[in-house]
Structure 1
Amino acid sequence: MENAEIILKYGCNPHQKPARIYTKDKSIPFKILNGTPGYINFMDAFNSWQLVKELKQVTGLPAAASFKHVSPAGAAVGVPLSDVLKKSYSVEDIELTPVAAAYARARGADRMSSFGDWAAVSDVVDLPTATILSRSVSDGIIAPGYTEEALDLLKKKKKGSYCIIEMDWNYEPEDIERREIYGITFEQKRNDVLANEDMLKNIVTNNKNITEDAKRDLLISMVTLKYTQSNSVCFALDGQVIGVGAGQQSRIHCTRLAASKADIWYLRQHPAVLNLPFKEGVTGPNKDNVIDQYLRDDITEMEMKDWSSVLTEIPNRLTREEKAEWLSNLTGVSLGSDAFFPFRDNIDRAAQSGVKYIVQPGGSVRDDIVIEACNEYDMAMAYSAVRLFHH
C-alpha cells in the first residue's frame, strides 16, 4: 500500500490546480510502478479496472479493456482469435496467450478510438500482452501484476514515462460513494450489481433461444455498459465488444453509433482491407487512419491526397454494394442497452448490423411495439429489469 494521498500535476485541464487523489482510511490499494498518471488517467484506470475484474468474475476468463475519456472503446475476454482477426488486429506475428488475446480483441474493437488508450487487464500481464502494448499508442495500464520481462518492456515505452499501475485484486470500496458537483455533495450506494445469467431468463420474444456464446456476449455487453457513460448501447460478438455508443442524449443515436462501429469492425476484415498495399515501415496509427478513410463513403479527393505516401498504389475502393454484400454476413451479434428502448427504430437499425440477441431492462410504455419489432426479425430479447446508467 502507498500513502493515502497522491498529488497530481493538474486536474482535468492544465489550469485546474491544485489536484490530488486520496483515501480517508490511510491506505491506497495500488502501486505506481512507472510513470506519473494524471487525473483522467486515474479515472480511466479505476473505471476500467472495475470492468475487467467483473468480466473475469462473470465469465471466468481473462479480460481486458481499452478506455478513452472514461468510457470503453473496447472490452473482451480471452477467446482465441481467427487468422483473419489476427491480421486485422496486427498481431499475426505474436504467439497469443489468453491474456494477450483479450487485450488484442479489446483494442481491435475500435482501433481509431483506442489511439492513446488506457489499458486494463484482469490477470498478470505477460510478455505477449506487453508486446502488443509496446507497438500501440497508449497512455498507461492497470493490472494486478506483471511478469518481470513484461514490466521491463513496458518501462521502455514512451521514453520511459509509460504509466504502469499495479492494483490490489482484493480491494473492495465502501458501499457508499460520494462526489461533488458545484460544491454540492452527492451520495449513493455503489453500483455493485453483478451481471449474471439470471438476468437473461425473462425472454419476452417469440424466439426464446439464446445460445451459450450469445449469453456470454450479452453478459460482456452488460458489464461494459455498467462502466460506459450513459446513454449507452453495446454490440458484442465472439467474446468481445465490437461497437459502443456512449454518452449520447438519444437512445437511437447510441444505437446508430454502436452499429456503425460494429460495421467498420467487420469491414476491416474484408480481403480488400486486409490486403491494402501499405509501404514498408508505415506505423499502425497511420494504417488505421487510411483504413478509416478507405471505408468512408464521404471521403474527398483532398483527404486522399496523402495516400501515395503510405500506399504503394492507390487501390479501387469498395462500392456501397460491395460493402452491403459483405455486411450481410455479419450475424449472431448480441446487443445490450443500459436502459429501455423507447421506439422500434433502435431494433430496425440493430437488425441491419446482424443483431440476433438483445438484453435491456424493459419498462417502456412502448415495450409491446419493441417486442413486435424483434419478432419480425426473429430476434431473442431478454428483460434484465436492471438499469445500468453510469455518470
Structure 2
Amino acid sequence: YARVLAAAEANDADQDLRRFLAEKVYAHTAAYDAAIASWFASQRGERFPAQITVPLSLGQSLRYGENPGQAAAFYVERPGEGLSALTQRGGKELSFNNLLDLEGALLATDPFSEQAACAIIKHTTPCGIGVGASAIEAYRKALACDPVSAFGSVISFTVDVDGEAAEAISSLFVECIVAPHFSDEAVEILGRKKNLRVLEGRARWSKGMLDLKRVRGGVLVQERSPSVLGDDQWKVVTKRGPTGEERADLLFAWRAVSSVKSNAIVLARGGATIGIGAGQMSRVDAAFLAVHKARAVGHDTQGAALGSDAFFPFRDSIDNAADAGVRAIVQPGGSVRDEEVIAAADEKDIAMVFTGQRLFRH
C-alpha cells in the first residue's frame, strides 16, 4: 500500500509498479476463475476434469529446501486449513523438512484420533507409535519402540499435552511437537528449549482435496488414501482365529503400518509398536528389520502381532515371524500364493486375517 500511495501522491506510477500490480490482479482473478471452474466440475461429479488449476498462495519463505543450496517456500492451498491452521507457540521458524515431517507425524496419528495417541517421526516415517490413557503414557510407549531413532524427531499427539508430558519430552532433542492444545505449564517447560518448535491446533485434510505428486513433465493426481478399514470387515483365513487380545493388537498394528513407508512391517503389542521395518525393497527384509529393531532395544517379540501393508508373495516371512514368536498377522491378502502363505500360518498355529485393503506408501 505504501508504494502505491507514494506513486499516487507523486502522480508517477512507473512501468515496474504497473507490471507488479498487473501481476497481482491477474494472479487474483486466475485463482477466482480456478475456484469457479472447480465448483462447476464438482457439480457434474467430475473428479478429474480435462484441466486442473490449483491456486496457491505464499504462506512462508523458508531458509532452504530439503538440503542447503535449494531455495524453497511453503505455499498454501486453502488458508487457515491443514498445516496453515496450526499456531506456533514457541521455537524457531519451521523448515522445509519440519513441514514434511509434520505431515508424516499427523498421518501417523490420524488413525488413532479417538484415542490418546503419540507418534514419533523421523524422515516422514514413524520410529514409534503408542496409545494410552494419557499423553505421557502414549509418549512413553512410542519412545520405547526406538529411543535411538527418536533423537531429532517430530512428535504428534491426538490429545492435549500437559506439564507432565512436556517434562518427559524435554529430556529428548526434538525438532517439533504438534498437539491439539498445550497447557500453559507445558508451553513454559517446552519454551526452555529455544529451538523446539511447538505447534498447536488440528491440521485436518479438507474435504475433497486431492493428493498431487510431481513427476518429470507432469503431476500425478489421486484421491486421498481412504480411512483404514476397521476389523468388522476383516476375514479370518486360518484355522485359528485371533483371541480378543490378539485382535486388539492386530487392529493397532494395522492402523500403525498405514503410515510407514513401503515395504512396511510393524510388530505391536499392548497398544504400542515394538518393532518397525520401513522402506525395504523386499517384504522379507522388512519383516527381518522389524524383528531386529525390536530385539535391539530389548523387546520380547514372543506373542507379538504383525501388520503388513501389502500381501506376502512367499511364505518365508511367515516362517521367520513364527521363529520370532509372532502369534497373529494382519495383511491385505491378494497374492497368487495366498494359499501357501495361509498353510504356513496354520503350520505355525498363527492366526491370520485378510483386510482386503492395501496400504502402500511411497
State the TM bucket, normalised to the shorter chain: 0.7 to 0.9
> d(CA) in 2 for partners of 1:7 and 1:183?
25
Against the structure 1 CA distance between its residues 183 and 23, is the aligned structure 2 distance closer, same or farther, given a 3 Å change threshold?
farther
1:40 to 71, 80, 97: 97
Residue of structure 1 equivalent to 2:289: 257
Residue of structure 2 equivalent to 1:236: 268
Residue of structure 2 equivalent to 1:94: none
**Residue 173 of structure 1: CA displacement?**
5.0
1:22 aligns with 2:79: no
> d(CA) in 2 for partners of 1:174 and 1:5?
21
> d(CA) in 1 for partners of 2:205 and 2:86?
9
> d(CA) in 1 for partners of 2:248 and 2:129?
13
Residue of structure 1 equivalent to 2:192: 156
SS at match of 2:237: coil
1:338 aligns with 2:309: yes
Against the structure 1 CA distance between its residues 383 and 33, is the aligned structure 2 distance closer, same or farther, given a 3 Å change threshold?
same
SS at match of 1:266: coil
> d(CA) in 2 for partners of 1:67 and 1:266?
21
> d(CA) in 1 for partners of 2:317 and 2:74?
40
Against the structure 1 CA distance between its residues 127 and 29, is the aligned structure 2 distance closer, same or farther, given a 3 Å change threshold?
same
> d(CA) in 1 for partners of 2:142 and 2:309?
20
Q: Deviations over 1:240-287 (max 9, x none)?
A: 0011111111010100000111222435xxxxxxxxxxxxxxxxxxxx
The one-letter amino acid paired with 1:129 is A
Paired residues, number: 302
> d(CA) in 2 for partners of 1:127 and 1:106?
18
Q: Deviations over 1:226-250 (max 9, x none)?
A: 2111111111011100111111110
> d(CA) in 2 for partners of 1:192 and 1:363?
18
The one-letter amino acid paired with 1:196 is G
> d(CA) in 2 for partners of 1:37 and 1:222?
31
Give me the TM-score of the superposition, normalised by structure 1: 0.74
2:225 to 186, 191, 197: 191
1:375 aligns with 2:350: no
Against the structure 1 CA distance between its residues 170 and 389, is the aligned structure 2 distance closer, same or farther, given a 3 Å change threshold?
closer
Segment of structure 1 superposing worse, 5-14 or 161-170: 161-170
**Residue 197 of structure 1: CA displacement?**
1.4
SS at match of 1:371: helix
SS at match of 1:355: coil
2:130 to 76, 85, 88: 76
The one-letter amino acid paired with 1:72 is P
Question: What are the within-5 Å matches in structure 2 for residues 109-128 of structure 1?
Answer: 109-128=145-164
**Residue 183 of structure 1: CA displacement?**
4.5
**Residue 118 of structure 1: CA displacement?**
0.8
Q: Deviations over 1:318-373 (max 9, x none)?
A: xxxxxxxxx5xx43211110000011110111112221111101111111111111
> d(CA) in 2 for partners of 1:137 and 1:149?
19
1:219 to 231, 251, 255: 251
1:205 aligns with 2:238: yes
**Residue 101 of structure 1: CA displacement?**
0.6
**Residue 5 of structure 1: CA displacement?**
0.6
> d(CA) in 2 for partners of 1:126 and 1:166?
13
Q: Check whether the contact 1:62–1:102 (CA below 8 A) recurs between aligned residues.
A: yes
The one-letter amino acid paired with 1:42 is L
Residue of structure 2 equivalent to 1:289: none
Q: Deviations over 1:177-196 (max 9, x none)?
A: 21213352110000022331
Residue of structure 1 equivalent to 2:200: 166
1:102 aligns with 2:138: yes
> d(CA) in 2 for partners of 1:186 and 1:197?
31
Q: Check whether the contact 1:140–1:162 (CA below 8 A) recurs between aligned residues.
A: yes
The one-letter amino acid paired with 1:190 is R
SS at match of 2:333: coil
**Residue 137 of structure 1: CA displacement?**
1.7
Q: Check whether the contact 2:175–2:195 (CA below 8 A) recurs between aligned residues.
A: no
Q: Check whether the contact 2:118–2:138 (CA below 8 A) recurs between aligned residues.
A: yes
**Residue 386 of structure 1: CA displacement?**
0.3
1:13 aligns with 2:70: no
> d(CA) in 1 for partners of 2:209 and 2:249?
28
